[in-house]
């Protein structure tokens, strides 16, 4: 399965100007993706516009990373470039549902590590979010086919991206200590750049470890730890427009995070797992 087309590119001072996109070809094994009619569009709208000036490294990753395309049951249908999977035209055509992960890393004293996504990011820049959010790739190490309760491939992707984005060395967060909690399906548009969006089966994972970070500024601009008591104030700041949160973090924070946080503090995370359910948000 292939997704073709990478857009015309003009370089300018370390950025690329995207010209008119070429058409995308997307044959899918076993028929077309079914329509996900029940999934609402979750929007955090800013002034709508379409950027044309993008960071070159972020554009490279859009073409280099092959995401895992799935159906509403999280069954693997094929793969497509990160660019294909995040163009709103493909999301609107129900062609781009893909696997993702969101990991929540707690320190041993019970605080949650948050990151602020870099200004260079094409997808949801400048948002505060959970520790790390990305995609398992369509390769032998990270493809769980079929999906399993162990989610071993997803966990390997978590370790890879913790190092890439935050400089957390491999082994600092043992893979056997990463807890797969549940899956959510959501849609979201990048409000200030209407070319891009998300439609994901997002694996939510928790881990506890004390780590040293060495930020990749192309991915992360800031980090901070918050306590459970500080979470309501963070959500209130977003509601008042004082900061931006990623849509997936906000959904998880409102629905599950306080309960999971208590379970983490009380050493009973396994009691809260629900790996059989795919929650449509």
Active site positions, annotated: 133, 200
Query: Do 271 and 260 touch, CB atoms closer than 8 A?
Result: no
- Look at the block and give the residue holding tokens 């010209």: 19
Q: Outline where 135-210 has alpha helix (H).
A: 152-166
**Dihedral sign (CA 237, 238, 244, 250):** positive
Nearest-angstrom CA–CA distance, 48 and 52: 13
Query: Do 161 and 134 touch, CB atoms closer than 8 A?
Result: yes
Nearest to 17 by CA among 64, 59, 65: 59
Hey, what are 164's tokens? 């890439």
């Amino acid at each position: 399965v292939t997704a073709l087309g990478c857009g015309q590119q003009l370089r300018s001072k370390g950025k690329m100007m995207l010209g008119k996109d070429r058409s995308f070809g997307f044959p899918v094994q076993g028929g077309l993706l079914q329509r996900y009619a029940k999934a609402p569009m979750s929007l955090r709208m800013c002034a709508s516009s379409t950027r044309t000036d993008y960071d070159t490294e972020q554009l490279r990753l859009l073409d280099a990373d092959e995401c895992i395309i799935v159906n509403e049951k999280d069954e693997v249908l094929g793969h497509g470039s990160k660019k294909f999977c995040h163009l709103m035209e493909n999301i609107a055509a129900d062609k781009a549902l893909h696997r993702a992960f969101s990991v929540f890393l707690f320190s041993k004293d019970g605080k949650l590590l948050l990151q602020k996504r870099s200004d260079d990011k094409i997808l949801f820049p400048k948002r505060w979010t959970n520790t790390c959010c990305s995609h398992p790739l369509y390769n032998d190490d990270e493809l769980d086919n079929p999906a399993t309760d162990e989610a071993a491939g997803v966990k390997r992707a978590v370790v890879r991206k913790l190092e890439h984005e935050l400089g957390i060395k491999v082994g600092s967060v043992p893979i056997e200590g990463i807890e797969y909690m549940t899956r959510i399906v959501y849609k979201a548009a990048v409000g200030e750049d209407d070319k891009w969006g998300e439609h994901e089966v997002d694996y939510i994972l928790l881990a506890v470890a004390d780590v040293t970070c060495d930020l990749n500024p192309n991915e992360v601009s800031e980090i901070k730890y918050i306590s459970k008591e500080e979470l309501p104030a963070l959500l209130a700041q977003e509601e008042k427009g004082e900061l931006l949160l990623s849509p997936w973090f906000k959904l998880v924070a409102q629905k599950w995070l306080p309960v999971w946080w208590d379970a983490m503090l009380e050493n009973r995370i396994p009691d809260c797992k629900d790996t059989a359910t795919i929650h449509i948000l």
